[in-house]
């Protein structure tokens, strides 16, 4: 597919589109064609400085804007995103590779985040605490100040909404650093937000490389809160940089989430959701993918046969043609997943589905299933972040739980069973931040999301995100003087 045009994109700082101080640019590609689609200003520490300064200047007025007015601005941003949904989805698909229908869903998610947190802006309040009669004591929930959002490439526009809307609703200002592979929609949303009435400097968008713009943001002494989504290794580095300034960090890292299927489950429901969980969105490049299937020995063969049939039927191709599975985001990610296909073959033998990278341009990998995997193999323990499923057999509930928990990650977990007690025992005992019962990827902007163990800490989405973006002050007054 021919590339349409190579667009020029600048940084968004203080309400202006500006080149990087260094004049450097980066090229973003369409992963379906490997062709460049945009020349994007590549920010570094100097640009992050400018953006943080602009945000700091904008903070007092935005913090003191009546909350209902902040809510109205966020509603206007949601409306603007919806009005531009088709264009934004096409940009997202070309920049990230994901199928157009998935990009359309992500754009709507972004609008939903702004809408949801718009409604919360005037409902963020503290408590009064009864002491003795000579005191009045109350709490105030206050914004952090300048917040930094380091955003990955797998859900670029959706994560703009998820990380920025609650920050702004709570009266914070923001400097967002989108991933170098997919910077376009963050800039587009930034521009729409300005047009929708967001004051200059309240949201700055500074694309650039992680080691430059990202590190400068994480280590900036005037940044008062950092939200990071990405790999464990980079998350650890970001947290170390932030802690030098005693800046609170919220880390949303990877996963190797167990999807547990019992013989009493509704078979078709379990099959449909297992396919969705690993192949159904962003070609498996999802932190909450169901990448580890634990299936009971009684139904193991029948289940894997049905899965194999379904996986083989999925169409793989360019996102703009809206296939079931698009390309991976980048050459790096493609190489990483191909390396895991080799590791998987060494550890578990030939995959029962897929296992190949089609011979053509674009970072495509077939939906792949490795059967007869042991939980201590690398393909059972490490995040592959692609369309690769590892299947592990178990014989009873206790073993299923042990296998589910025997991993460094703890982002989400799923169980398919018709036994209500078993489902809730699993939900109680599994070490994960979100549990799906007879469903995968349930929940939307309203449901708190974040990890146990190495999957991170802090919660995004829902009302919980407001806690991540505020700090609590207690005021204690003696009224008897
Ligand atoms: P990464 O964690 O390095 O990148 C994520 C974001 O962090 C990007 O915006 C990047 O520019 C920024 N970054 C990179 N180095 C930085 C630094 N030193 N300081 C501050 N910011 C920095 O992830 P990468 O390399 O793109 O992908 C590698 C693996 O990470 C994937 O294969 C996957 O396993 C995992 N990953 C997990 C994601 C999730 O949703 N939890 C999202 C993206 C990647
Ligand atoms: Mg790109």
- 90-120 pLDDT, tens digit each: 999 999 999 999 999 999 999 999 999 999 9
Interatomic CA distance for residues 248 and 228, integer angstroms: 11
Q: What is the pLDDT of residue 290?
A: 98
Q: What is the pLDDT of residue 416?
A: 99
User: Among 175, 184, 207, 210, which is best to mutate for testing ligand 1, by the most ligand atoms less than 8 A from CB?
Assistant: 210
Closest residue (by CA) to atom 43 of ligand 1?
Answer: 230
412 touches ligand 1 (CB under 6 Å) = no
Question: Residue 36, SS3?
Answer: strand
Q: What is the pLDDT of residue 337?
A: 98
Asked whether the predicted pLDDT for residue 6 surpasses 90, the reply is no
Closest residue (by CA) to atom 21 of ligand 1?
Answer: 214
* Atom from ligand 1 closest to the CA of residue 254: 41
Asked whether the predicted pLDDT for residue 232 surpasses 70, the reply is yes
Give me the mean pLDDT over the 178-199 stretch: 98
Percent of the chain with pLDDT over 90: 98
Q: What residue has token string 């940089």?
A: 241
Q: What is the fold of 11-253+456-474?
A: Aldehyde Dehydrogenase; Chain A, domain 1 (3.40.605)
150 touches ligand 1 (CB under 6 Å) = yes
- Using pLDDT thresholds of 50, 70 and 90, give the confidence band for residue 7: confident
Tens digits of residue pLDDT in 389-413: 999 999 999 999 999 999 999 999 9
Do the Cβ atoms of 388 and 380 come closer than 8 Å?
no
The one catalytic residue among 10, 115, 188, 287: 287
pTM here is 0.97
393 is catalytic: no
154 touches ligand 1 (CB under 6 Å) = yes
The rounded radius of gyration (Å) of the Cα atoms in the chain is 23
Asked whether the predicted pLDDT for residue 180 surpasses 60, the reply is yes
Closest residue (by CA) to atom 11 of ligand 1?
Answer: 210
Question: Residue 128, SS3?
Answer: strand
Q: What is the pLDDT of residue 442?
A: 86
Residue 475 is encoded by which pair of tokens? 């005021």
Residue 182 is encoded by which pair of tokens? 């997919």
| Domain range list for the chain | 11-253+456-474, 258-445
Interatomic CA distance for residues 58 and 146, integer angstroms: 9
* Least confident among 71-80, 358-367, 456-465: 358-367
**Distance from residue 251's CA to the centre of ligand 1 (Å):** 11
Asked whether the predicted pLDDT for residue 66 surpasses 70, the reply is yes
Q: What is the pLDDT of residue 358?
A: 87
**Distance from residue 87's CA to the centre of ligand 1 (Å):** 26
Pick from 116, 426, 459, 467: which is nearest to 294 by CA? 426
Q: Where are the alpha helices (DSSP H) in 371-462?
A: 378-381, 397-405, 420-429
Closest residue (by CA) to atom 14 of ligand 1?
Answer: 210
Interatomic CA distance for residues 229 and 445, integer angstroms: 16
Interatomic CA distance for residues 120 and 114, integer angstroms: 10
Pick from 375, 407, 410, 404: which is nearest to 391 by CA? 375
Closest residue (by CA) to atom 9 of ligand 1?
Answer: 179
Residue 235 is encoded by which pair of tokens? 């998350």
**Distance from residue 178's CA to the centre of ligand 2 (Å):** 11
- Ligand nearest to the Cα of 31, by number: 2
Q: What is the pLDDT of residue 2?
A: 44
Interatomic CA distance for residues 252 and 448, integer angstroms: 12
Asked whether the predicted pLDDT for residue 359 surpasses 90, the reply is no
* Least confident among 1-5, 54-58, 238-242: 1-5
**Distance from residue 30's CA to the centre of ligand 2 (Å):** 5
- Using pLDDT thresholds of 50, 70 and 90, give the confidence band for residue 5: low
Q: Select from 2.60.40.10, 3.40.50.720, 1.20.120.790, 3.40.309.10 the CATH code of 258-445.
A: 3.40.309.10
Query: What mean pLDDT, rounded, does the chain reach?
Result: 97
Q: How far is CA 445 from the centre of its chain?
A: 12
**Distance from residue 96's CA to the centre of ligand 2 (Å):** 5
Tens digits of residue pLDDT in 289-345: 999 999 999 999 999 999 999 999 999 999 999 999 999 999 999 999 999 999 999
Do the Cβ atoms of 47 and 16 come closer than 8 Å?
no
Q: What is the pLDDT of residue 3?
A: 45
287 is catalytic: yes
């Amino acid at each position: 597919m021919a590339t349409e045009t190579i667009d020029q994109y600048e940084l968004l700082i203080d309400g202006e589109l500006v080149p990087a101080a260094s004049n450097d640019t980066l090229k973003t590609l369409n992963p379906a064609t490997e062709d460049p689609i945009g020349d994007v200003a590549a920010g570094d520490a100097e640009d992050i400085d400018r953006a943080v300064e602009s945000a700091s200047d904008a903070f007092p007025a935005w913090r003191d804007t009546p909350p209902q007015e902040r809510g109205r601005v966020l509603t206007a941003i949601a409306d603007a995103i919806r009005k531009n949904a088709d264009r934004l989805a096409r940009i997202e698909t070309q920049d990230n590779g994901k199928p157009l229908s998935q990009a359309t869903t992500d754009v709507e998610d972004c609008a939903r985040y702004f809408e949801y947190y718009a409604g919360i802006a005037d409902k963020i309040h503290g408590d009064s605490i009864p002491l003795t009669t000579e005191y009045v004591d109350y709490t105030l929930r206050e914004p952090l100040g300048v917040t930094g959002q380091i955003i990955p490439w797998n859900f670029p526009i959706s994560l703009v909404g998820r990380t920025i809307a609650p920050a702004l609703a709570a009266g914070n200002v923001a400097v967002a650093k989108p991933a170098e592979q997919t910077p376009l929609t963050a800039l587009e949303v930034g521009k729409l937000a300005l047009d929708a009435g967001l004051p200059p400097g309240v949201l700055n968008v500074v694309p650039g490389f992680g080691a430059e713009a990202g590190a400068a943001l994480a280590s900036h002494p005037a940044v008062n809160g950092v939200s990071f989504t990405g790999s464990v290794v980079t998350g650890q580095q970001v947290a170390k940089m932030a802690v030098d300034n005693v800046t609170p960090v919220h880390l949303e890292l990877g996963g190797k989430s167990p999807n547990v299927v019992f013989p009493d489950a509704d078979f078709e429901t379990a099959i449909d959701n297992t396919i969705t969980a690993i192949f159904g969105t962003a070609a498996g490049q999802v932190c909450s993918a169901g990448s580890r299937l634990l299936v009971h020995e009684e139904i193991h063969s029948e289940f894997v046969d049905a899965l194999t049939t379904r996986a083989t039927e999925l169409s793989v191709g360019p996102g703009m043609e809206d296939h079931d599975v698009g390309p991976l985001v980048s050459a790096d990610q493609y190489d990483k997943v191909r390396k895991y296909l080799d590791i998987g073959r060494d550890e578990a033998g030939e995959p029962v589905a897929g296992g190949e990278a089609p011979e053509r341009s674009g970072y495509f990998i077939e939906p792949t299933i490795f059967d007869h995997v042991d939980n201590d193999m690398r393909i059972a323990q490490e995040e592959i972040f692609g369309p690769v499923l590892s299947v592990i057999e178990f014989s009873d509930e206790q073993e299923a739980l042990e296998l589910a928990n025997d991993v460094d990650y703890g982002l989400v977990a799923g169980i398919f069973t018709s036994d209500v007690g078993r489902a809730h025992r699993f939900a109680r005992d599994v070490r994960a931040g979100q549990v799906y019962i007879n469903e995968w990827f349930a929940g939307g902007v309203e449901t708190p999301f974040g990890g146990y163990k190495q999957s991170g800490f802090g919660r995004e989405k829902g009302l919980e995100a407001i806690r991540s973006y505020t700090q609590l002050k207690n005021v204690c007054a003696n009224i008897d003087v």
